[in-house]
Structure 1
Amino acid sequence: MPRAGDGERNAAGVDPEQLWLRPAESRRGRKPSFSREQITEAAVALADAEGLEAVTMRRVAAEVGAGVMSLYSYAPDKETLLELMVDHVSGELPTTDARTGDWRADLKTIAHLQRALMLRHPWLPGALATRRSLGPHTLAFLESVLSALRPTGLDGAARLEAFAQLTAFVSGHVSYEIAQAAAARSADRSAAEARYLATVAADGHHPELAEALAAPGRPLTPEATFTRFLNRLIDGLDSD
């Protein structure tokens, strides 16, 4: 959210036609020393390094060596800048990979690509929750995913829902994964939590938990955990 003193302007909402279908109007006079692409790249780098809260029009202007007011013709507010950032990093997702014809395998590959993207840009899951439009890179990726889902026999609306469900799963899991990684940096906390669960499981009042904790262990690496959860999700997509 914009903060007082940042020179930000509140936005009633981003107009996708204005943002994506109409190129930025050229200005008369001296050619500007930066572009919308450079502004977006600077904002992405700032978010990657310091988190989304660090991205303000003032900070981005400083990164590109411009005055704050000069940014407004490219991104009139932070909401628009966020749309540009999300679509910019979405351009890292491949859209021309050959499909295997096995939609489950293809969808799992897509989900792993999404996870890798969100881990490179940890601010992205939070940004996806508030975005309002689909830019050209996002549309290209969506088209690719819908194509991968065609062998399911689902109609177009159901394939859109499947894409939304998959993205929501990946986004939520990565958010949890990042939070867990931060918590795991505290060895004392992790040890205390393990002792607590062992005590609770042994008290006789939580037999289901005791059975679950006594079950054979499974690989607990982030990649292995994500893959297990993903497999369960995808295996149920055609159960309707």
Structure 2
Amino acid sequence: MTRDGGSGAAGVDPQQLWLKPAQPRRGRRPAFSREAITTAAVALADTEGLEAVTMRRVAQRVGAAVMSLYSYAPDKETLLELMVDHVSGELPTTGAPTGDWREDLKTIAHLQRALMLRHPWLPAALSTRRTPGPNTLAFLERALAALRPTGLDGAARLEIFAQLTAFVAGHVAHEVAQSAAARSPDRAAAEARYLAAVAADGHHPELAEALSAPGRPLTPEATFTRFLNRLIDGLGTE
């Protein structure tokens, strides 16, 4: 990306980003740090959405000139990398696996969901490839250790974790969108009337049967848990 979000050819060099400390340009010592810039960007995304995060807006939040930020985060792509890893530091990484890998995975998924609900921009940020920073790697270690009882090789365990994360991100994105739609009762009522009419037209018997089935708990937590159980309980070890 370019500095404020366009696509760039070079991309982020993960070794430069994560293994070498941020070095400000020569001159007077700045009154902020890469951590402060990242924290400001996260706060902006939390309140106004990911599209609101620009280098100019972040500079305003930390009280700095835009150009002074570029030695810490040379473009928005780098800033997103920093933001993702920053919030990943909220995920707990301590505690030994129980030995029941399915239950451990479910715990991991619930932790991921809670994180993404606190930071609703995170699923969109994860939709493009991100290089794992130190916080992300620490949580990945926990997940891979939880999967060791499967007997799968490391590559397969990485695939399962990626599949789980993609499921959680997709579900949370849908959950957030549904929550926004629910704030419009007229729209919800109109959709219910439409589905009732479709189910009664005689051309959609499978849908009519599905809609007439006994209801299940529809709270966000119950729905997520039901979907998650289907996913993880169906995972094999081959």
Shorter-chain TM range is over 0.9
C-alpha distance in 1 between matches for 2:179 and 2:117 = 12
Rounded to whole Å, the distance in 1 between the matches of 2:76 and 2:36 is 15
- Between 194-203 and 34-43, the greater mean CA deviation after superposition: 194-203
The one-letter amino acid paired with 2:86 is H
Asked if structure 2 preserves the Cα contact closer than 8 Å seen for 1:83 and 1:131, the reply is: no
Deviation at 1:21, TM superposition (A): 0.6
- Aligned counterpart in structure 2 of residue 47 of structure 1, from 30, 45, 48: 45
Gaps of 5+ in 1: none
- Aligned 8 A contact 1:8 1:77 in 2: no
Alpha-carbon distance in 2 for matches of 1:7, 1:212: 44
CA distance in structure 2 between the partners assigned to 1:160 and 1:66 by the alignment: 40
The answer to whether the aligner puts 1:213 opposite 2:216 as a matched pair is: no
CA deviation after TM superposition for structure 1 residue 9, in Å: 9.1
User: How far apart in 1 are the matches of 2:5 and 2:232?
Assistant: 45
Where do 1:1-240 residues align within 5 Å? 10=8, 12-25=10-23, 27-238=25-236, 240=238
CA shift at 1:25, angstroms?
2.4
* 2:24 and 2:72 in contact (8 A); partners too: no
**Cα contact 1:87–1:138 (8 A) shared by 2:** yes
CA RMSD of aligned residues (A): 1.8
Could you say what secondary structure the match of 1:157 adopts?
A: helix
Tell me the percent identity: 83
TM value normalised by structure 2: 0.95
CA distance in 1, matches of 2:9, 2:34: 18
Letter in 1 for 2:56: R
> Would the alpha carbon gap of residues 18 and 214 (structure 1) be closer, same or farther in structure 2, given more than 3 Å must change?
same
5+ residue gaps, structure 2, are: none
Contact 2:5 2:77 (C-alpha < 8 Å) held by counterparts: no
Contact 2:151 2:237 in 1 (8 A): no
Change over 3 Å in CA distance of 1:7–1:145 after alignment to 2: closer
Q: Distance in 1 between matches of 2:45 and 2:55?
A: 12
The total of aligned residue pairs comes to 238
For residue 204 of structure 1, report the CA deviation from its aligned partner.
1.2
> Cα offset for 1:30?
2.6
Distance in structure 2 (CA, Å) of the matches to 1:177 and 1:27: 43
Q: For residues 210 and 68 of structure 1, do their structure 2 counterparts lie closer, same or farther at Cα, with a shift above 3 Å needed?
A: same
- Residue 26 of structure 1 deviates from its aligned partner by 5.3
Find the aligned partners of 2:152 and 2:236 in 1 and give their Cα distance: 8
CA distance in 1, matches of 2:38, 2:207: 48
Larger deviation, residues 131-140 vs 71-80:
131-140
More moved, 57-66 vs 130-139? 130-139
Query: 2:144·2:158 contact (CA, 8 Å) conserved in 1?
Result: yes
After superposition, the Cα gap between the structure-2 partners of 1:103 and 1:9, relative to the gap in structure 1 and judged at 3 Å, is: closer
Distance, in Å, in 1 between the alignment partners of 2:66 and 2:7 is 11
Paired with 1:91 and 1:7, the residues of 2 have a C-alpha distance of 24
1:180-239, Cα deviation, whole Å (9 max, x unpaired): 111111111111111111111111111111111111110001111100110011012116
